[in-house]
Amino acid sequence: MQFMEDLKHLLDISYPIIQAPMLGVTTPAMVAAVANAGGLGCLPLGGLSPEKSLALVKETKAKTSKPFAVNLFAHSLTSEVSEEDIKIMENYLEALHKKYNLPFEHKPISSYRFYNHHDQIDILLDEQVPIVSFTFGLPEAQILSQLRERGVKAIGTATSIKEAALLDKAGMDAIVVQGIEAGGHRGSFIDKEPLPQVGLISLVPQVVDTVSVPVIAAGGIFDHRTIKAVFTLGAAGAQLGSYFLAAEESAASEVYKERVLSSTDTSTELTQAFTGKWARGIGNSFMEEMKNSGLVIPYYTYQNSLTAALRDFGKSGGIADIISLWAGQSASQSKSGSTEALFNKLIQQIKSDTNPIF
Ligand SMILES: Cc1cc2nc3c(=O)[nH]c(=O)nc-3n(C[C@H](O)[C@H](O)[C@H](O)COP(=O)(O)O)c2cc1C
């Protein structure tokens, strides 16, 4: 299959299998394990400070000499928020904090500090990272030409045909198409339109017919059958996230891993409760209560910051009901074990298929 070969050549990898960037879950050790096994590991750096980003890149480089990708959030940081909505949300969350004897810090809006791709790009160029993937937006032409001049490959994320066409036109080298099955945040970025909720089986062939670059399919993929399915639909690569959630190298807390391993096909739902951006996770009481509250949820980065202390407390205390349990519709098929073993299992399954795709 030529498109698969094109992607392998583009990214300098042996197998067209990609470990999805998962902020809060993917560690340098996970990225390196996939890279060393011949796939593409993706290091999530979305929203992190330049210093933290640099440390994570260096840590990954110390563990592998193979190419890996870093993932950035390409959204604008200037979204308007209502101070009134934030105040109401703070009061709501403060009451919830009290349930856990946890103090709540009221901060002036002006004291929030957020980061996006603009703050990180120089570091990545200095570190000669070979591949940069983006989600939540279309990076500016000037950023893309900076990458191109240094030979860095750029990958965009789309959740609709229209988004994919915009990314193609902007000159992305490859496009991740994220179906509605996918765990974590929707990569959608056309803000004035309703959230695209297209399934992967519909999205992949339609995007393949629209764009000129290799398409990487993401959402609900967990074994050789689902991988074969997306290649049959025209994808050049398969990106798996939830499959690696319970891996030894995953930074997910024990209680998160337990919820993933005991989940079923109907355990996940889309929510804005934790961060203000639509994301798919295993349902819990925080999501339910926030929905029932009827409150306006301040947009991403603010809501993400407002709920951070509660989520951290949930993580350290093993309280799954206040953690964002990001996971996709096939998360129940995740397995524990080392990342290397999980990756090799996929390759073995594919190779022992009666009609193998590679
Ligand atoms: C815990 C978690 C965190 C995620 N974080 C990111 C991220 O930082 N950047 C990104 O582009 N996608 C992120 N995603 C989405 C994945 O890249 C990918 O689209 C998704 O995992 C594919 O669906 P699957 O989980 O069903 O395999 C995340 C997904 C999960 C489950």
Measured in angstroms, how far is the CA atom of residue 153 from the centroid of ligand 1? Answer: 20
User: Ligand 1: does its nearest atom lie under 6 Å from the Cβ of 20?
Assistant: yes
On whether both 188 and 88 belong to a single domain, the answer is: no
pLDDT at 109: 86
- CA gap 129, 64 in Å, rounded: 12
Measured in angstroms, how far is the CA atom of residue 316 from the centroid of ligand 1? Answer: 22
Measured in angstroms, how far is the CA atom of residue 98 from the centroid of ligand 1? Answer: 32
Range of the domain at 156: 1-77+114-248+338-358
Q: How confident is the model at residue 89 (pLDDT cuts 50, 70, 90)?
A: very high
pLDDT at 16: 98
Measured in angstroms, how far is the CA atom of residue 341 from the centroid of ligand 1? Answer: 20
Measured in angstroms, how far is the CA atom of residue 83 from the centroid of ligand 1? Answer: 30
Angle at 219 (CA atoms; ends 119, 141), nearest 5 degrees = 35
Strands of the sheet with 268-271, listed across from one edge? 184-185, 279-282, 268-271
CB atoms closer than 10 angstroms to residue 90: 17
Q: How confident is the model at residue 15 (pLDDT cuts 50, 70, 90)?
A: very high
Q: For 195-254, what is each residue's pLDDT tens digit?
A: 999 999 999 999 999 999 999 999 999 999 999 999 999 999 999 999 999 999 999 999
User: Ligand 1: does its nearest atom lie under 6 Å from the Cβ of 23?
Assistant: yes
- CA gap 160, 297 in Å, rounded: 24
Q: How confident is the model at residue 1 (pLDDT cuts 50, 70, 90)?
A: confident
CB atoms closer than 10 angstroms to residue 194: 7
On whether both 164 and 229 belong to a single domain, the answer is: yes
Q: For 107-136, what is each residue's pLDDT tens digit?
A: 888 888 999 999 999 999 999 999 999 999
On whether both 131 and 33 belong to a single domain, the answer is: yes
Measured in angstroms, how far is the CA atom of residue 327 from the centroid of ligand 1? Answer: 8
On whether both 326 and 230 belong to a single domain, the answer is: no
Measured in angstroms, how far is the CA atom of residue 146 from the centroid of ligand 1? Answer: 26
Which residue minimizes the CA distance to atom 5 of ligand 1? 22
Position in ligand 1 atom list of the atom nearest CA 23: 8
Tokens of 279: 């994301």
On whether both 155 and 221 belong to a single domain, the answer is: yes
- CA gap 243, 222 in Å, rounded: 6
CB 283 within 8 A of CB 267: yes
On whether both 272 and 127 belong to a single domain, the answer is: no
Using the predicted structure, report yes or no on whether residue 81 has a pLDDT greater than 90: no
Instruction: Measure Cα distances from 154 to 22, 93, 137 in Å.
Output: 18, 39, 13
CB 274 within 8 A of CB 301: no
User: Ligand 1: does its nearest atom lie under 6 Å from the Cβ of 178?
Assistant: yes
Measured in angstroms, how far is the CA atom of residue 58 from the centroid of ligand 1? Answer: 22
- CA gap 97, 190 in Å, rounded: 34
User: Ligand 1: does its nearest atom lie under 6 Å from the Cβ of 260?
Assistant: no
> Of the residues 17, 22, 269, which should be mutated to test ligand 1's pocket, given the most ligand atoms within 8 Å of the CB?
22
On whether both 350 and 239 belong to a single domain, the answer is: yes
Main-chain phi, psi angles of 350, to 5 degrees: -65, -45
Instruction: Measure Cα distances from 168 to 146, 156, 336 in Å.
Output: 17, 9, 37
- CA gap 207, 3 in Å, rounded: 14
Which residue minimizes the CA distance to atom 11 of ligand 1? 135
pLDDT at 80: 78
Supply the CATH number for residue 33's domain.
3.20.20.70
CB 222 within 8 A of CB 333: yes
Q: For 290-342, what is each residue's pLDDT tens digit?
A: 999 999 999 999 999 999 999 999 999 999 999 999 999 999 999 999 999 99
Interhelix angle 28-36/50-63, rounded to 10 degrees, is 40
Give the total number of structural domains in the chain. Answer: 2
CB 143 within 8 A of CB 166: no
On whether both 274 and 215 belong to a single domain, the answer is: no
H or E stretch covering 343: helix 339-351
On whether both 173 and 284 belong to a single domain, the answer is: no
Position in ligand 1 atom list of the atom nearest CA 329: 26
- Calculate mean pLDDT across residues 329-357: 96
On whether both 270 and 317 belong to a single domain, the answer is: yes
Q: For 42-79, what is each residue's pLDDT tens digit?
A: 999 999 999 999 999 999 999 999 999 999 999 998 77
On whether both 234 and 128 belong to a single domain, the answer is: yes
User: Ligand 1: does its nearest atom lie under 6 Å from the Cβ of 240?
Assistant: yes
On whether both 196 and 225 belong to a single domain, the answer is: yes
Using the predicted structure, report yes or no on whether residue 9 has a pLDDT greater than 90: yes
